[in-house]
Structure 1
Amino acid sequence: MIIVKTTEEIELMRESALIVSKTLGMLASEVKPGVTTLQLDALAEAFIRDHGAVPGFLGLYDFPNSLCMSPNAQIVHGIPNNTPLVEGDIISIDCGAFKNDFHGDHAYTFEVGEVAPETKKLLDVTKASLYVGIREFKSGNRVGDVGYAIQKFTEDHGYGVVRELVGHGLGRKMHEDPEMPNYGKRGRGKKFIEGMVVAIEPMTNLGTHRIKQLKDGWTILTADGKPSAHFEHDIALVNGKPELLSTFKYIYEALGIESNEEDEFRQLKI
């Protein structure tokens, strides 16, 4: 069942989402060769708590940390550890924050120093596919319209679209209806309703779409060992159009990147 949010609840969710956005922005300047994912995890937990929230992932389904940290061939759900990042790595950082009884949850894949051109292109295309999908999150459309748009865009570039892992509704629970696959057929699935909030999160592999799981029970990797990229935003359906609750602007400020990619999805200034 889709749980529709009131205007007031959406604003509370925006607050939770922006704590995640600011956490990722803080981490952006810390992601560099030599740092460990456990060190980044500790920084994130302290930052989230200092901003009046609690880490949304810590203890969720017994997950042991505050961040899902997934480098290179890891797609999602990587557990932070003491292995230092090295030049040329990429790493998906997926972060959650819980405040005012609502969750924020989004992700960004960072470059560690200079990365290979084919890997950088994978990141660029995956992030672009996120906005391709968000454009389809509007009145009159259905879940399959978002999935189809993301799948066609990424597969047209020759990449594998992960099937087993999907985006989701978001609210008082981290995972609500509907599931939001990154593949599908137009006109299929649940219809979008004014006031619903979802997390859209393309996961795209440089090679095959097939996956495997480590024995830790969490970490998901590409079956062929090639890199994977992951980007995620929280979006509300407001006045029939997608309204971003999260933002990458704090990441871009930290990295000195100029971008207007989010402007079309902002009905309100943040």
Structure 2
Amino acid sequence: MLIDLPDLPLPGRGDTLERLRGLAALGRADLVACRLAEGHADAVAIRTELGDEPGDDGRWGVWAAAPSTVRAERAPEGWRLTGDRPWCPGAAWCTDALVTAVAEDGIRLFAVRNEGPYAQPLEGTWPAIGMSGSDSRTVRFTGAPARPVGGPGEYAGRPGFWHGGIGVAACWYGGALAVADTLLAAARSKELGPHALAHLGAVDVALGAAWAVLEDAARRIDAEPRADAGRLALRARAVVESAATEVIDRVGRALGADPLCRDVMHAQRIVDLTVYLRQSHAESDLEQLGHLLVEEGAPW
């Protein structure tokens, strides 16, 4: 798969909004390509933040979905990783990956070369329809040479962990824009009737609210890049997820089954976005946000 890797600004350095705009544009154009490009861009940000300065050295993924099923052991010649890591976007596309693994001193992040015989994508572990092109197979590591990136717990404990989560929400937002484009194009080409126009108006409201939240998040990240952004990210992700879900529903109600059955690109966008949105942890994330509000107080 040929993907142009974007040169996006790093988060928290004054241009976070441009980063989110770039990710949204990628999502609007192609959610699968966006998913892989976002992983690469996130890897660049992570490595920079944790002192593993990146160069122009390959196509990176971040394979760190919890819980970790890979173990890290320190051998005389360096660290080695062994175990199966599910949910690895770009399992064959990535040349390198940041992988979480359980070490004797806690969960660590490692840079690993994605090549045999040490790393092997497992056939049959991604029988997906939505986001099928992301090739998120399980990768089996067998004594894979690895380089630690940061110390124990640093990957998830840094503010940038949450900045990356907001970046994913920008990708969702871009996917929702692409779905909304189908309704807008239909409304411009023929008379759809008052109900469909009401759905179009509601789509605009949902997307406008979601982008306002992303803009606010970008501003806050740049103002306080080292602040704990957990509450900010959980709120932004929930708002964008809700907006994208509403867009999918309203476009379907406005246009019926026709574009789902006759427009292959629209149908693929719907299934891709539906799968991508499930990177949200739904009520679990809302519960976590609720706990933070109780502990820290509500901003409102």
Name the TM-score, length of structure 2 as normaliser. Answer: 0.25
Higher strand share: 1
Q: Which has the higher helix share?
A: 2
Larger Rg: 2
Q: TM-score, normalised by structure 1?
A: 0.27
